[in-house]
Amino acid sequence: MKVGIIGGGQLGRMLALAGYPLGLEFRVLEPKPAASAGDVAEHVRGDYDDPEALDAFANGLDVVTYEFENVPRTSADRLAGRVPVYPPPDALDVAQDRLVEKRFFRERGIPTAPFEPVGSRDELDAALEQLGTPAVLKTRRFGYDGKGQVILRSAADADGAWEELGGRPLILEGFVAFQRELSILSVRGRHGAVRTYPLVHNVHHEGILVRSRAPAPGVDADLQALAEDYARRVLEKLDYVGVLAIELFEHEGRLLANEMAPRVHNSGHWSIEGAETSQFENHVRAVAGLPLGTTRPVGVSVMHNLIGTVPSLEAMLAVEGAHVHLYAKSARPGRKLGHVTVRAADGTTALDRAEELADLLA
Ligand code: AMP
């Protein structure tokens, strides 16, 4: 069986690495000559919206999936005319637009931060009146890793925020003074089976994920069940196949959905060593129509992203329980170049080891 992946970054690389032991083959579509996944998969060079490249890519594939949510809908539809595409292209429509996404959550009964659409300077004033401050103004589309968003501390910040982001479709969100950020990763198979990973605790710096701990500490069965219920509502509405990540704010005992990613997710990288079946293997299993694997955690894991620079390999590997994953990408400030997961039988040991690792990264 040959699996096509739209996008040739580290997620594609780790999907292929997880699929090889199952005897699957991989091909990626990636315009850049240097593709992280190109080391481990056949690399078709072409733009994501080039019909000829899409057709050449699809030739001989059994199934197509993707590793980023900004795949053009028309491209997904073109491919779907020839080969099954999972997750379903409808998931792209939801994940590509923050306004559609928040409405979609609300329609499923999943709470979110309060929000208002903003299409003009007047609408920004009206939305600020409605939501008050602090608030977060975001572009509806193409925002990632904290890009395309501005925090408004008071109404006086409106001019500056408009100057920075105005002219594009926007959304204003009430600022959530959350206790912490969590994510729930779940996977649904082609025949509707669903499995969910334990809630993960995520720490961001300047909008970029720096560290995840799984399972998140202090999560009782009710909170886990609530997150699983929210995930299931999304999966079922979209007749979803593959891994889905939902980022959540924990706020006064509630879970507010911030955004979803219809793909494997950085907050699930810990699962390579920290769960019986990784998110990558489960995504591959799902899209290939294979039985899903158990998502049970194995001990406690802490994952650190390697952002911008990579410390010495020797030093990282000298940390007991450390597992290093380098993505073969050239260094650039703010770029995710790899990750390291430390795993231990108990939380205290995992945290001690994570601190040792954090010292190397500081
Ligand atoms: P996003 O691009 O929506 O994932 O936002 C990036 C990060 O900004 C999140 O992980 C949060 O730390 C923060 N953030 C986004 N939206 C809000 C909000 N409405 N209230 C508070 N913090 C937010």
SS (H, E, C) 289-306: CCCCCCCCECCEEEEEEE
Is it the case that residue 228 has pLDDT exceeding 70? Answer: yes
Partners of 204 in the β-ladder: 209
The CB of 316 under 6 Å from ligand 1? The reply is: no
92 contacts 78 by C-beta, under 8 angstroms = no
Relative to the CA of 144, which ligand 1 atom is closest? 2
The answer for residues whose C-beta is within 8 angstroms of residue 243's C-beta and 6 or more apart is 185, 186, 187, 263, 264, 265, 268, 279, 282, 283, 286
Helices (H), 61-190: 73-80, 90-95, 98-107, 121-131, 158-165
CA dihedral (111, 113, 114, 119) positive or negative:
negative
For residue 92, give the DSSP letter.
Answer: H
87 contacts 264 by C-beta, under 8 angstroms = no
Provide the CA 199 distance to its chain's centre, in angstroms: 14
pLDDT mean across residues, the chain: 97
Beta-strand runs (E) in the chain: 2-6, 25-29, 42-44, 63-66, 115-118, 135-139, 149-152, 170-174, 180-188, 194-196, 200-205, 208-214, 242-251, 254-261, 300-307, 322-326, 336-344
The CB of 205 under 6 Å from ligand 1? The reply is: no
Is it the case that residue 145 has pLDDT exceeding 70? Answer: no
Single-letter residue type at 230: Y
Q: Is 276 helix (H, G, I), strand (E, B) or coil?
A: coil
pTM: 0.97
- How many Cβ atoms from other residues are within 10 Å of residue 77's Cβ? 12
Relative to the CA of 174, which ligand 1 atom is closest? 19
- How many Cβ atoms from other residues are within 10 Å of residue 57's Cβ? 27
Pick from 258, 265, 266, 267 the residue to mutate for probing ligand 1's pocket: most ligand atoms within 8 Å of its CB. 258
pLDDT band of residue 142 (cuts 50, 70, 90) is: confident
Tell me the average pLDDT across 214-218.
Answer: 97
280 contacts 20 by C-beta, under 8 angstroms = no
With CA atoms as reference, report the closest residue to 49 among 22, 25, 77.
Answer: 77
Separation of CA 51 and ligand 1 centre (Å)? 35
Separation of CA 108 and ligand 1 centre (Å)? 21
The CB of 101 under 6 Å from ligand 1? The reply is: no
The CB of 136 under 6 Å from ligand 1? The reply is: yes
In the chain the domains, ranked by start, together with CATH numbers, are 2-85 (3.40.50.20), 114-174 (3.30.1490.20), 180-361 (3.30.470.20)
Determine the angle formed by the axes of helices 10-19 and 279-287, rounding to 10 degrees. 70
Tell me the average pLDDT across 21-45.
Answer: 97
316 contacts 340 by C-beta, under 8 angstroms = yes
Tell me the average pLDDT across 113-122.
Answer: 98
Q: How much is the pLDDT for 206?
A: 87
**H or E segment and range at residue 156:** none
Half-sphere exposure of 159 (CA within 13 A, CB side): 1
Helix then strand then coil, in percent of the chain rounded to 5, is 35, 30, 35
Q: What percent of the chain has pLDDT over 70?
A: 99
pLDDT in tens, 296-338: 999 999 999 999 999 999 999 999 999 999 999 999 999 999 9
Tell me the average pLDDT across 224-242.
Answer: 98
Supply the residue whose CA is at minimum distance from atom 2 of ligand 1: 146
